[in-house]
């Protein structure tokens, strides 16, 4: 599937081309379908090959996870854990969870991949993560995935620099907001909601000045000019505490959303993954026990 060529596939697998062809033919006979159309330009996959590709890759991933779990069980102080984390969880939730986890299991190698939901969920389906901590948009959920709700509310604020002209206004209306440039997180559905709020009020949506996936760049831009942006309250907490940025609740633009841990339904979680999930749940309950 990757090479679209039997000879290149044989080289990549360290096998002879006849052996590759024989194995593909055996699989085609077993499934009673044709998987590849052979031609002068290589091997083009049929619709049947495309249909089974994702599950085949999951099987390969599961085989690697089996070995990793056996090795972890052989020596309970060794193993690895791969987590996908959306931006709101990196400043506060995951650091505390990682601290508590490593106090008990210091020898387990942990890899945390930062990303937005549209990238994290497909990677989880491909088996690249043990689980992800995110705000799953419904359109990205797949029946192969299952989620655990956390006691954590993703609360976005209208963020601007402390001396922004609007920061001196107690009640910021949409008409004033439309006059300023916005920094927007690329790949998220938040802008659709923001645009709809302006349109419903009979106003043109604000102009998007910069679209980015970087929280660091977003905050730097806001500090330098009269930009506004919607950010999770934990992402800019330090800048707000130091008096650089200010965050304002705006009910017509942002509503709290629940956060989830999501993993593959049919893939058993490894012991390190189960332990980390319990720690994350405990951290959320402790930090947000007074939240409504």
Query: Residue with structure tokens 């999951």?
Result: 58
Q: What is the dihedral of CA 44, 49, 54, 60, to 10 degrees?
A: -90
Q: Spell out a b/e string for 184-213, using b for 16 or more CB atoms within 10 Å of the CB, else e.
A: bbeebebbeebeebbeeeeeebbeebeeeb
pLDDT, one tens digit per residue, over 70-117 is 766 665 555 789 999 988 787 888 999 999 999 988 888 899 998 878
Structure tokens at 242: 């130091």
CATH value of 64-154+257-287 in 3.30.365.10, 3.40.190.10, 3.40.50.720, 3.40.47.10: 3.40.190.10
Q: Is the pLDDT of residue 292 over 50?
A: no
The C-alpha angle 47, 53, 55, rounded to 5 degrees, equals 125
Q: Is the pLDDT of residue 281 over 80?
A: yes
Torsion over CA: 250, 237, 189, 143 (sign): negative
Q: Is the pLDDT of residue 256 over 70?
A: yes
**Parts of the chain belonging to CATH 3.40.190.10:** 64-154+257-287, 156-248
| Residue 141 binned pLDDT confidence (cut-offs 50, 70, 90) | low
Q: Indicate yes or no: pTM above 0.85.
A: no
Looking at every residue in the chain, the average pLDDT score rounds to: 84
Q: Name the nearest CA neighbour of 230 among 180, 276, 267.
A: 180
Structure tokens at 181: 């440039």
Distance of alpha carbon 54 from alpha carbon 52, whole angstroms: 6
The helix/strand/coil state of 284 is helix
pLDDT, one tens digit per residue, over 41-72 is 788 899 999 888 878 877 877 777 777 667 66
Helices and strands (H and E) in the chain: how many: 10, 12
Beta strand ranges found along the chain (DSSP E): 36-39, 42-45, 79-85, 108-114, 131-134, 145-154, 156-161, 182-185, 208-212, 229-232, 245-248, 257-264
Contacts of 194 (CB under 8 A, 6+ apart): 182, 205, 206, 230, 253
Query: Are the C-beta atoms of 129 and 83 separated by less than 8 Å?
Result: yes
| Residue 287 binned pLDDT confidence (cut-offs 50, 70, 90) | confident
Distance of alpha carbon 190 from alpha carbon 215, whole angstroms: 15
What CATH number was assigned to the domain covering residues 156-248?
3.40.190.10
**Domain 6-45 belongs to what architecture?**
Orthogonal Bundle (1.10)
Q: How many CB atoms lie within 10 A of CB 251?
A: 7
Query: Are the C-beta atoms of 215 and 231 separated by less than 8 Å?
Result: yes
């Amino acid at each position: 599937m990757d090479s679209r060529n039997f000879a290149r596939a044989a080289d990549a697998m360290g096998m002879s081309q006849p052996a590759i062809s024989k194995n593909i033919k055996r699989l085609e006979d077993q499934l009673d379908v044709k998987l590849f159309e052979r031609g002068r330009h290589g091997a083009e996959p049929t619709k049947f090959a495309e249909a089974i590709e994702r599950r085949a890759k999951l099987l390969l991933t599961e085989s690697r996870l089996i070995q990793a779990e056996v090795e972890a069980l052989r020596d309970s102080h060794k193993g690895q854990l791969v987590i996908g984390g959306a931006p709101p969880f990196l400043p506060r939730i995951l650091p505390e969870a990682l601290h508590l986890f490593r106090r008990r299991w210091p020898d387990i190698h942990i890899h945390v991949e930062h990303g937005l939901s549209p990238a994290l969920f497909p990677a989880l389906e491909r088996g690249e993560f043990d689980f992800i901590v995110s705000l799953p948009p419904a359109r990205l959920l797949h029946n192969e995935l299952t989620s655990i709700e956390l006691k954590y509310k993703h609360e976005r604020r209208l963020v601007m620099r402390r001396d922004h002209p609007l920061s001196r206004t107690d009640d910021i209306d949409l008409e004033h907001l439309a006059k300023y440039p916005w920094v927007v997180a690329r790949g998220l559905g938040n802008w659709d909601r923001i645009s709809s709020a302006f349109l419903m009020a009979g106003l043109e949506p604000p102009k998007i000045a910069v679209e980015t996936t970087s929280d660091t760049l977003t905050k730097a831009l806001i500090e330098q000019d009269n930009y506004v942006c919607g950010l999770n309250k934990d992402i800019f907490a330090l800048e707000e505490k130091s008096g650089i940025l200010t965050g304002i609740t705006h009910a017509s633009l942002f509503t709290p959303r629940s956060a989830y841990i999501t993993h593959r339904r049919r893939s058993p979680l490894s012991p390190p993954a189960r332990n980390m999930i319990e720690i994350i749940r405990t951290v959320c309950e402790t930090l947000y026990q007074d939240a409504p």
